[in-house]
Chain A
Amino acid sequence: MAMADLSYITASLTGASVSIAGKPVLKNVSLTVNKSGIVVVIGPNGAGKSSLLSAMAGLLPLETGTRQLTEANGKDAAITRVGYVLQKPVLFRRSIAGNIDYAMDAAGVDPALWADRRRQVLQVMNISQDESRSAFHLSQGERQRLAVARVLAMSPGILMLDEASNSLDKTTVSLLESHVRNLADQGMPVIWVTHSLEQAKRIADRVISIEDGEIVKDCAVGDFF
C-alpha cells in the first residue's frame, strides 16, 4: 500500500498525569513519538500501557500536563489522523465494506478512492471474505484484522496499536508485523502496546517500559534486550 506520499504527525505528552475513577494510572509522563520506526510499549498488566496510548490519542482527559498531536507543518492534527486500534475494537453492525467506508468518510477520504483503497487494505490484512458480508460473521481474528484495515484506510499520520495482535493466529501476526514494518520504513511513526517481550524483540526500534503509571525505561531496542 502506497503511503509514502502522506505526511506523518508527532504525538507527545509532557508531564501528563491521568486518573481513572480516582486511581492514578499515569504519573507525570513525558514522551514524544515523532520519528519513523516502531515504538513498543511494554509492561505488566495494569501498568498503564493502554492508558498511555489513550492519553496520547486524546481519549483520556489529562489531570496535569499537556498533549499534542502535531502535523509536519506545525499545525494541530485532528484525532482522525491517529490510526488507533483499540484492544477490543468495535465493529459497526454493517458490512465489511460499510465499516471501512465509515472510517474513510470520517477521515475525509475522497469517495472516488474508497473502492480501490478498500480492496488494498483488505488484501493487506488478508481478509478474503466478500466485502458485502456482515462484519458480525467474521471470526475474532478477522474482526481484529478488519479493525486494523479500517484504520489503514484512513491514511493515518501515526499508528497506535493497543494489543492489536492479541486475537490473531501466527500467520496473521506475521503479516501484520511485516505490514506495520513496511509502514514504519516508509516513515510512519508507530506505537505498539504489547505484553509480549518476544514480539517487542521482533518488531521494536525503540522500547518503552512502563510500570505503575511511570516510564521506567525508554531506549533503543538493542539497549533493552
Chain B
Amino acid sequence: MDLIDFFNLAIHAIISGQHDLFEVVNLSLFVSFSAVVIASLIGIPLGGFLATNRFKGRSFVIVLVNALMGLPPVVVGLMIYLLLSRSGPLGVFGLLYTPTAMIIAQAVLITPIITALTRQTVEHLSRDYDQQLQLFGVSPIKRTLTLIVDGRFELVTAVLAGLGRAMAEVGAVMIVGGNIDHFTRVMTTTITLETSRGNLALALALGMILIIMTIMINAAMAGLRWWGERRYGHG
C-alpha cells in the first residue's frame, strides 16, 4: 500500500463514521476542554494577580511560571502517576487510569501557559489603565477583574495556546490514562498505538481529524477575537 491508499482508507474511516473513531475523538475533546476550563479558572486569576500586584518574590514566581510553560509532559505524567497510584497520597481516590487523571495531568501542564500569557496581557493593559483606575479608586481585586474583563479578547489567545498544548499532548495522558480501549484512549495515544501496530490508515485518519479540529477551533477563536476587537477595541 502506498501513501495514497492510506489516505483513501483514512478518509473512508472518517466518512463511514466508525464508532471507535468517534468515541476516541469525543473523549479527546472532553479531556482537553475540561483541562482547559480548569486551567483557565486557575491560570487567568493567577496571571491577573501576578500582573497587578507587587510583592516580595514576585520576579521569582514569574520566572518559575514561565519556566513551567515548558514542563515535559512525561515528567508531569510521572508526577501525577506517583500522586494517584495506590501507594501515593491521592491513591485512595482510585483515579489512576481514568479520564479524570488525564484531565488533571493536562490541567497541570497547561495552567502555567495560561497563567504566563494572562500575566503578559494584563500587565500590558495595566500600563494604559493604571492612572484611570487609580482615579476611580478601585480595590486591587476590582482592578484585576477590570483588566481581565477588558483584556478578554486577548486572553482568547492564552486559552487557545493551552488548548493546543492539551490536544497535542500524548506523554502524560499515556502514563496516567493507560491508553485503555473504550475508556482512556484518546486521539494522540491511539495514533501512537496504531502507528506502532502498523495500522497507519486509522492513525492517519485520527491525525487528519486532529489537525482539522485544531484548525477549526483556532479559526473559531480567531473569529471571536476579531469580532470582539472590532466591537470593543483592542490594545
Contact surface of A with B, Cβ cutoff 8 Å: 54, 57-59, 78-80, 82, 84, 86, 89-94, 102-103, 106-107, 134-136
Nearest first, the 6 closest Cβ-Cβ pairs linking A and B are A136-B233, A106-B136, A93-B232, A90-B132, A80-B137, A93-B150
Other-chain residue from A58, A102, A134, A135 in contact with B136 (beta carbon distance below 8 A): A102
**Taking the nearest CB of chain B, how far is it from the CB of A70, in angstroms?**
16
Contact A89 B132, CB 8 Å, known A106-B137, A106-B138: yes
**Taking the nearest CB of chain A, how far is it from the CB of B203, in angstroms?**
44
Q: Is B196 an interface residue (CB 8 A)?
A: no
* Interface contacts beyond A90-B128, A90-B129: sample of 18 additional A-B pairs, CB < 8 Å, sorted by A: A57-B135, A58-B134, A59-B131, A59-B134, A78-B137, A79-B135, A86-B132, A91-B233, A92-B146, A93-B153, A93-B232, A93-B233, A93-B234, A94-B232, A102-B146, A106-B138, A134-B231, A134-B232
**Taking the nearest CB of chain A, how far is it from the CB of B154, in angstroms?**
10
CA gap between A91 and B146 in the complex, in Å = 12
Question: Chain B CB within 10 Å — which of A78, A93, A103, A106 has the most?
Answer: A93
Instruction: List, in ascending order, chain B residues with CB within 8 A of A94's CB.
Output: 150, 232
Chain B binding surface, main DSSP class: helix
The B123-141 residues at the A interface (CB cut-off 8 A) are 128-129, 131-132, 134-138
Instruction: List, in ascending order, chain A residues with CB within 8 A of B132's CB.
Output: 86, 89-90
Evaluate contact between B150 and A92: CB separation under 8 angstroms. Answer: yes
A-B contact count (CB 8 A): 48
**Taking the nearest CB of chain B, how far is it from the CB of A203, in angstroms?**
23
Question: What number of B residues sit within 8 Å (CB to CB) of A?
Answer: 16
CA gap between A135 and B234 in the complex, in Å = 12
Evaluate contact between B232 and A82: CB separation under 8 angstroms. Answer: no
Chain B, residue nearest A81 (CB): B137
Instruction: List, in ascending order, chain A residues with CB within 8 A of B153's CB.
Output: 93
Evaluate contact between A79 and B233: CB separation under 8 angstroms. Answer: no
Chain B, residue nearest A154 (CB): B136
Chain A, residue nearest B151 (CB): A93
Chain B, residue nearest A160 (CB): B135
CA gap between A80 and B133 in the complex, in Å = 10
Instruction: List, in ascending order, chain B residues with CB within 8 A of A102's CB.
Output: 136, 146
Other-chain residue from B129, B135, B146 in contact with A59 (beta carbon distance below 8 A): B135
CA gap between A57 and B136 in the complex, in Å = 11
Evaluate contact between A135 and B135: CB separation under 8 angstroms. Answer: no
Other-chain residue from B128, B129, B137, B231 in contact with A79 (beta carbon distance below 8 A): B137
